[in-house]
Structure formats: structure tokens, C-alpha cells
Amino acid sequence: MKQRVWLLLVLMLWASLGLAQRFRSLDQIQADGTIVIGTEGAFPPFNFFDEGNLVGFDIEIGQALAERLGVKYEWKAQAFDTLLIALNQGRFDFVIASHTITPERAQAVDFTKPYYCTGNLIVALPGGPRTPEELKGKVVGVQVGTTYFEYAQTIEGIKEIKTYQTNPDALQDLLNQRIDAWITDQFTALEAMKQRDVELQLSDLLVREEIGIAVAKGNETLLAALNNALDEILADGTYAAISEKWFGQDIRCK
Ligand code: ARG
């Protein structure tokens, strides 16, 4: 009995120190038969809900990768700025939500090689700001927890940076003229014009971004398998078809 109590205490200490492995290895996932994938679900056309179903480029890439690993998939959607923390707590096996690979994030999680490359830009109503200099004295909206927020903070003279829980929330405030500009991804800006049927002014691309899939820090077996699976779908036409469907072009990094 006493021994058991000791064992329990040691285990609790181990877990509380974060030393316990909080991720499932490739073997464990394959033995279970289902991989759990995390995303946001509010970043069209990459990951969003359409009539209650998760759809988009990220979703189809995630599913294609799961198929290559020979497992079924289960999606969990939650706020963008909580995804990487939840990943390290073991809530998902991997996260695909258009995360830019940054040195800060790469300290917390491990990223695959980039699955696409893109750029951010300034979106405004016609006649609004179209360069970082023109953002002086302006109110700029960005999604919380994104590289757009980080980038906005480096621009001098912005009057106010407003953060939004989701990217479409920022778009809405731009359309309502509560902000002067919105910093976002180029493809999300094009999608916004299409979906909302509005004319928006898009600046030149400002920062190039390499986008990766995240696994829990140290999950080497899953990381290697995802990188292999990504190579396969890039080579066999699966990736090209998905990209063509959503963007009319191939957005892999060149
Ligand atoms: N690429 C940007 C970043 O990493 C934006 C990603 C936003 N993704 C999303 N699902 N809202 O910060």
C-alpha cells in the first residue's frame, strides 16, 4: 500500500514537472487507428466552417496526410491563439492552421517543412492606406496571436492596433469603417472580396511567410512521417489538385 502511494506521488510529480511525454508517437497513433488534428475553422479559404463542416485547403491537406499515414482522422477546432499550447498538452497529434514558421514558435513546437508559402499585405477600402508609411496615424486591425500582429507592432506611428479573435471579425470592422486597414494573408484577402462581394484595396506583399504543420515538441516519429507524407503528396499530384481547387494555382514554396 505504502509503495503504491509513493509510486503515485512520483508519477504526479513527474507529470506536474512536464516530464511525462504528452504526445503520441507514430506507432501509438497507428495502433489506435485515428489521428487527432487541430485547427481553427475561421480562416477562409484555408480552414473554415461551411454549413457546419470543416473545409478548406488546410483541411484537405491534413486529411491527405492522415491517409498517407494509414489512419482515420478526427478534427478538433478551437481559437487560433490556443492551438499550439493545446498541442503541447496532448489535445491533438498535429495542428494545421496556416501557422507561419517563426523562431519563437519553433522553440515551443516542432514544424514540418513548409506546406505553402505566401505573403501578408495591407487591406483597405478603396483610397485607404497602401504602404506601411501610410499607416501612420491610422487604426489597424489584426487577428490576435498572428504574425500580422507581430508585424504591425514593428511599424512606426500606427495610432492603434486593434486585435480580433478571428480574421473575419477584423474584416467586418474594416467594412464598417471602424478600422482604417487590416493586415492579413494575401489569399484570405482575395477570398474576402469574393465571399463578401466587395471591392478592397490590396497593397503589395510585405512579408514572405513560410507556413508549417506543428507537432508537439520532440514528437520526432510523427514529424518524420508527416514530412514524408508531405513529400509524397507534393510529388504525386494530390497536393497540386487540392491547391488548384482552392486557389487556381499551386501555392507550394518555390
Ligand atoms: N500565418 C499567420 C500566422 O501564423 C496567420 C495564421 C492564421 N491562421 C488561422 N487559422 N487564423 O500567424
Residue 155: CATH number of its domain: 3.40.190.10
Tell me the CA–centroid distance for residue 36 and ligand 1, in Å: 20
As a whole number of angstroms, the distance between CA 138 and CA 184 comes to 16
140 and 181 share one domain: yes
Residue 227 pLDDT grade (very low, low, confident, very high; cuts 50, 70, 90): very high
Decide: 36 and 93 in contact? Cβ < 8 Å.
yes
106 and 49 share one domain: yes
172 and 159 share one domain: yes
Asked whether residue 33 is assigned to any structural domain, the reply reads yes
Decide: 192 and 121 in contact? Cβ < 8 Å.
no
215 and 113 share one domain: yes
Alpha carbon dihedral 22, 60, 188, 152, in 10-degree steps, equals 20
Residue with CA at minimum distance from ligand 1 atom 5: 146
pLDDT in tens, 125-137: 999 999 999 999 9
pLDDT of residue 144: 98
38 and 108 share one domain: yes
Decide: 209 and 119 in contact? Cβ < 8 Å.
yes
246: cell is: 482552392
Closest atom of ligand 1 relative to the 145 alpha carbon: 12
As a whole number of angstroms, the distance between CA 245 and CA 105 comes to 30
Domain count, the chain: 2
pLDDT of residue 109 exceeding 70, the answer is yes
Percent of the chain clearing pLDDT 70 (strictly above): 93
126 and 107 share one domain: no
Residues touching ligand 1 (Cβ under 6 Å) are 40, 43, 47, 80, 97-100, 143, 146-147, 167, 209, 211
Asked whether residue 13 is assigned to any structural domain, the reply reads no
Tell me the CA–centroid distance for residue 47 and ligand 1, in Å: 10
Asked whether residue 45 is assigned to any structural domain, the reply reads yes
Angle between helix 220-235 and 57-68 (nearest 10):
110
173: cell is: 470592422
175 and 226 share one domain: no
Please state the separation of Cα 122 from the chain's center in Å. Answer: 19
As a whole number of angstroms, the distance between CA 176 and CA 182 comes to 12
199 and 219 share one domain: no
61 and 41 share one domain: yes
pLDDT in tens, 163-216: 999 999 999 999 999 999 999 999 999 999 999 999 999 999 999 999 999 999
Residue with CA at minimum distance from ligand 1 atom 12: 146
Tell me the CA–centroid distance for residue 4 and ligand 1, in Å: 46
Task: Give the predicted TM-score (pTM) of the model.
Answer: 0.93
Asked whether residue 20 is assigned to any structural domain, the reply reads no
Tell me the CA–centroid distance for residue 146 and ligand 1, in Å: 5
Tell me the CA–centroid distance for residue 119 and ligand 1, in Å: 11
59 and 78 share one domain: yes
Asked whether residue 19 is assigned to any structural domain, the reply reads no
Domain containing 163: what range? Answer: 119-208
Asked whether residue 124 is assigned to any structural domain, the reply reads yes
Instruction: Respond yes or no on whether the N-terminal peptide bond of residue 45 is cis (omega within 30° of 0).
Output: yes
As a whole number of angstroms, the distance between CA 120 and CA 143 comes to 12
